[in-house]
Amino acid sequence: MAIKQRNAGAVEGGAGNTNVVKETMLADVVYMPKWDAMLEAVIAGHKRIDEALDLAGEARLGHHNIIQGVTVQGTAQIPTYIADQYGEEYVGKFWRWMLLEPIKEFLDKKYSIEEMLWLDAEDLRLYDVSNIVVKEETERFVLTYDTNGIPQRQRNPQICGVTKQAWPWSWGKTGMPYSCAELAVKWEILPTELQGYPIRINLISEAPDGSDTYLYYKKPELIPEEYFTRIGMRKTIF
């Protein structure tokens, strides 16, 4: 462990400005993930393959823990708190308030369906979602995945509440996790308001241990009417 002497008194509020004993750089102590150590092991090649693999495993676990255990949980708990304290109608309002400007910017980019598939598959991989399968059908692309990773955490009733009433942002269903409403608002409701049709259709499993499906229609006019009516809107492109 590298120890360096440090200029005393640089930290606000110290007990005594002459009492700094040692400084330990972040990279020198126990932590995970160790990206910098992994970098060195990978560069070292055959001599340190096992070490590089161990470090890759640690990094994956470390990031999984913080993303699933903290940030995903937090983003499920806060809408749940909003629903419990102020009424679940505010969940839809919150997602709209938060997502309107970002989705306008997103639409300005005019991503192709291929780019959407790359982005969504990437996102799901980063959340450690398993069994991601993408298939092309005549009218659409279909992406499915198992509801582990982020969905599993958000389907835990101890963490994330579910709709008591049917709302457009819950696809007209009760029992939908408040966190999943983000998908309805972000990819369906706001894009339909702004450009006349959803970016993608989200078929969220009603069973916590099922599979979720995203649909990407090749042309807006191919999107069935039911995917507009379930979010309280009408199809206008034929």
User: What is the footprint of other proteins within residues 121-150 (CB under 8 A)?
Assistant: 121-128, 131-136, 141, 145
Rule CB under 8 A: say whether 2 interacts with other proteins: no
Report in angstroms how near the CB of residue 141 gets to other proteins at its nearest: 8
Which of 174, 123, 173 is CA-nearest to residue 151? 123
- Amino acid letter at 133? V
In terms of Cα–Cα distance, which of 191, 221, 186, 181 is closest to 107?
191
Q: Find out whether 61 and 139 touch, Cβ atoms under 8 Å.
A: no
- Which residues in 78-97 contact other proteins (CB under 8 A)? 78-79, 81-82, 84-86, 90, 94, 97
Provide the mask over 145-174, with x wherever binding to other proteins is found by CB under 8 A and - wherever it is not: x-----------------------------
175 to 214: interface string for other proteins, x by CB under 8 A: -------x--------------------------------
Contact of 229 with 236, CB cutoff 8 Å: no
Q: How many residues sit close enough to other proteins to count as binding (CB under 8 A)?
A: 80
Neighbouring C-beta atoms of residue 209, cutoff 10 Å: 11
**Dist CA 175 CA 206 (whole Å):** 8
Cβ nearer to other proteins, comparing 130 with 229: 130
Name the DSSP class of 155.
T
Among the listed residues 37, 66, 216, 232, the single contact to other proteins using CB under 8 A: 66
**How are strands ordered across the β-sheet holding 140-146?**
133-136, 140-146, 211-217, 201-203
Stretch that binds other proteins, among 24-32, 187-195, 211-219, 224-232 (CB under 8 A): 24-32
62 binds other proteins (CB under 8 A): yes
Which H/E stretch holds residue 63?
helix 49-66
225 is an interface residue for other proteins by CB under 8 A: no
The window from 58-66, 168-176, 200-208, 229-237 that contacts other proteins (CB under 8 A) reads 58-66
